[in-house]
Chains A and B, each alone.
Chain A
Amino acid sequence: DAGVTQSPTHLIKTRGQQVTLRCSPKSGHDTVSWYQQALGQGPQFIFQYYEEEERQRGNFPDRFSGHQFPNYSSELNVNALLLGDSALYLCASSLLGLGNQPQHFGDGTRLSIL
């Protein structure tokens, strides 16, 4: 039973570039949430996708966008990268239909902006 998988594991970009991060949820899960975790801080909620629609959004600018595909996998896109976007990006999946279920996290993508 595969857990949450994310790719790539590490990425280096320069300011102004664009990046796409990918996530496959745990088998049987239908909801994907994305979090940004800066060094030494707790994960910050970016947005949540369910039924291919953005359902909830945290306090992040429009430069952060996402998508969910019919197979429940998801992408996080960040445009016009800033130095402050350097962080660990975590994807978490859950089964929405069962209510407030625990989040199952992937290992994350470590994004470094030069």
Chain B
Amino acid sequence: GQQVMQIPQYQHVQEGEDFTTYCNSSTTLSNIQWYKQRPGGHPVFLIQLVKSGEVKKQKRLTFQFGEAKKNSSLHITATQTTDVGTYFCAGRAGTGTASKLTFGTGTRLQVTL
């Protein structure tokens, strides 16, 4: 079945440093979504990417979808303590509206002052 891996599993940075998490799927994706889960919380939707090579920005966050639609990345510039949490990518392999979402293994980000 479809597998979605993320690296690194964990990263600890000092506030102000940059952070990147990478997401790789075993199959070609129709679209990919990114979620953030704070400690003790539930996943919260950040963004969806659909087109090959697509790049989207949300303030300090930059999301990319690979040309082959099998990988994606999330880059955070100048991290803040509010960025702490686990970041998950989640991909859909099918084109149907009911195609299931497969979550990645997640990258846990810790930010200290």
Interface-side segment among A13-21, A66-74, A78-86, A94-102: A94-102
Residues of B in contact (CB 8 Å), total: 25
Interface flag for B30 (CB, 8 Å): yes
Q: Using CB atoms and an 8 Å cutoff, list the residues of chain A in contact with chain B.
A: 33, 35, 41-45, 48, 50, 55-56, 58-59, 90, 96-97, 99-100, 102-108
Flag if B48 contacts A42 (CB, 8 Å). Answer: no
**Chain B hits for A50, CB < 8 A:** 98
Q: State the B residues within 8 Å of A (CB).
A: 1, 4, 30-31, 33, 35, 41-45, 48, 88, 90, 92, 97-106
B88 touches A103 (CB 8 A): no
Question: What's the Cα separation between A97 and B98 when bound, in Å?
Answer: 9
Q: Quick check: A56 and B99 within 8 Å, CB to CB?
A: yes
Q: State whether A45 and B1 are in contact (beta carbons under 8 Å apart), knowing that A90-B42, A107-B42 are contacts in the complex.
A: no
Check B106 against A48 for contact (C-beta < 8 Å).
Answer: no
CB-CB < 8 A to A100: which residues of B? 30-31, 48, 92, 97, 99
Give CA–CA (A96, B100) in the complex, Å. Answer: 12
| CA A58 to CA B99, docked complex, whole Å | 11
29 contacts between A and B (CB under 8 A): A33-B101, A35-B103, A41-B105, A42-B4, A42-B88, A42-B103, A42-B105, A42-B106, A43-B43, A43-B88, A43-B103, A44-B103, A45-B101, A45-B102, A55-B98, A58-B100, A59-B1, A90-B42, A96-B97, A99-B97, A100-B99, A103-B33, A103-B35, A103-B90, A104-B45, A105-B42, A106-B42, A107-B41, A108-B42
Q: Complex: how many Å from CA A105 to CA B98?
A: 17
- Chain B contacts of A43 at CB under 8 A? 43, 88, 103
